[in-house]
Every structure is written in C-alpha cells, then in structure tokens.
Amino acid sequence: MGESHTPPRGSTRPDTSVAHNARVWNHWIGGEDNYAVDRQVGDQVASIIPVIRDIARADREFLGRAVTYLAGERGVRQFLDIGTGLPTADNTHEIAQRIAPDSRIVYVDNDPTVLMHARTLLAGTGDGATDYIDADVHDPDALLERAAGTLDFDRPVAVMMLGILNFVLDAEKARGTVRRIMDRVPSGSFLVLTHPTYDAEVGGENQIPAMEFWNENATPPITARSAEEIAAFLEGLNPVEPGLVSCSQWRARAGSAPVVPQYGAVAVKP
C-alpha cells in the first residue's frame, strides 16, 4: 500500500518583499511560481553571471541523470532529497518510481513557498511512498529523526544535496552536516551533491560579484567554494566515475551541454 504524508499547514506566509532562492531558481528554469522581486533580482544576477540559467538547467538535468543511474543501475530504492525547492517536471520521486514503483522518497525543505506546493510532491505511486518534511539542513539530527518515519536507515539511502550546502556558510559546519547524515545511513548508501564554485577553469569568475549582490538583496545568504573545498564533502566516500566535475558533464553525452561553474558528484559509502 502506498503512503503519502500531507505536510502541516504552515502559518508563515512567504515574504514577497524579498527575493528568495527557491522562487528565483524557479524563475531561472522558466517556472511561474515566483514574484516580481524574484524576477528583478534574478535578472540582475543573470546580468552579472549570464550563465546562471545554464547552471539552473544543468543542475536539474544532473538530478535526472543521477536518480536514473542510482535507481536503474545501482538498485537504490530510498532517496532523501534535502533542499527540494519548488516542484517542476521530473521530480526525484517521479524518476525513481518510473524505474522502481516501490521507491520511497522523502523531500526536505523549510521554505514557506515550497511548503505550499508540497502536495504536488506527494503524488507518488501506489507501491512506494513519498513524504515531505519541514526541516532545516542546519539541524541534521531533527531532519534525520523525521525522515526515519518513511525511510529505513538500515537499508541504503541516496542522500540528495543539490545546491544546498552553499547555504551553510561555515565550511566546518557544512562538512559536519554531511558527516552526520552519512554516518546515519548504511554501507551502500550514496551522497549526491552539486555546489557552485568560483573556479575559473569551469567559468566561475563571476560567481563572487553575483553572490555579493545576492547576499545584499535576497535570502538566504550563499557562498561558493573551490573544487578542493567541495571535494572535502566526499571524504570517506568513494566517488563514482567521473568523480567531481561540472554537473553538466557528469555522465552526460559528449557536447550535450556547456561546462558550468557548478560541480556535481555521486559517491558511495563503502
């Protein structure tokens, strides 16, 4: 019997006076779940770093390839998607449950706008389960406790952290969050991540001024990191080929997408 859990109705209404990441990201990928302030700030960021829309699309396409690989080739049947963002086409549960209808997916976010749309994320298959929890990546213990209501942490879990660790500004806290979550899942689990970078070799020269503008005009604050700093999140894990690369290039067809200043990786816990 399938399961879905309706998130509680939040009393917090979205603040439409300040641009918010989930809504701006939605604007960059061509969605309609955003407000004028989100479009204004998003367009200004795009004027500083024109490749930002390519980054948003590449990140989404990376998610599709990673979930397809994990569900199809590695037999993963549980996904913990942290930092869900606003629902769009081919969400994690839709991809996984097309391949394996018994897949179980827990989405995690704490943005009021995402919460309003959470029911869209909960329409999974009858054989599997989908859940949405209102939790914060800065509190991994509470997040894990709530996710355990749907996921079996004695079986492998794919922990999806796409574009979320960049909101944990302190590098040691970010690494600690990853360690805490990956310590909780068993051998054979995976970490899937993307993270923006300022590395020039992948075109990240404009990330710093773009993020400075963002941090002055939008929420939550964000940071970019180098490939070396991002690779530290994979410590103790075994990266899947081709390792840490521009997310647009991870297991993509040759020449199918431009290189973007957003690294992506999939790694398995030994």
Token pair 């913990």: residue = 80
What CA–CA distance (Å, rounded) separates 156 from 81?
14
Q: What is the mean pLDDT of the chain?
A: 90
* Residue, of 234 and 111, whose pLDDT is higher: 234
Pairing label, strands 19-20, 129-134:
unpaired
Q: Is 72 exposed, middle or buried (0-12, 13-18, 19+ CB in 10 A)?
A: middle
pLDDT bin (cut points 50, 70, 90) of residue 248 is very high
pLDDT per position as a tens digit, 15-34: 788 998 888 988 998 888 88
Q: Which amino acid is at 44?
A: Q
What CA–CA distance (Å, rounded) separates 14 from 94?
26
What radius of gyration do the chain's Cα atoms show? 17
CA distances from 114 to 10, 93, 128, 132 (A): 11, 16, 22, 10
Residue 93, Cα to own-chain centre: how many angstroms?
A: 13
What's the confidence (pLDDT) of residue 148? 97
For 267, the token pair is 């790694």
pLDDT bin (cut points 50, 70, 90) of residue 122 is low
pLDDT bin (cut points 50, 70, 90) of residue 110 is confident
Residue 232, Cα to own-chain centre: how many angstroms?
A: 18
Cα first-last separation, the chain: 32
Give the contacts of 224 (CB within 8 A, at least 6 positions apart). Answer: 166, 195, 196, 197, 198, 204, 207, 208, 211, 261
Q: What angle do CA 218, 224, 228 make, to 5 degrees?
A: 165
What's the confidence (pLDDT) of residue 140? 96
Pairing label, strands 238-239, 262-268:
antiparallel
* Residue, of 244 and 7, whose pLDDT is higher: 244
What CA–CA distance (Å, rounded) separates 62 from 70?
12
Give, for 208, the enclosing helix (H) or strand (E): helix 207-217
Give the single-character DSSP code of 204: -
Q: What is the 3-state secondary structure (H, E, C) of 41-88?
A: HHHHHHHHCCCHHHHHHHHHHHHHHHHHHHHHCCCCCEEEEECCCCCC
What's the confidence (pLDDT) of residue 12? 53
What's the confidence (pLDDT) of residue 30? 87
Give the contacts of 150 (CB within 8 A, at least 6 positions apart). Answer: 3, 5, 104, 106, 129, 131
Token pair 């840490």: residue = 244
pLDDT per position as a tens digit, 127-166: 889 998 999 999 999 999 999 999 999 999 999 999 999 9
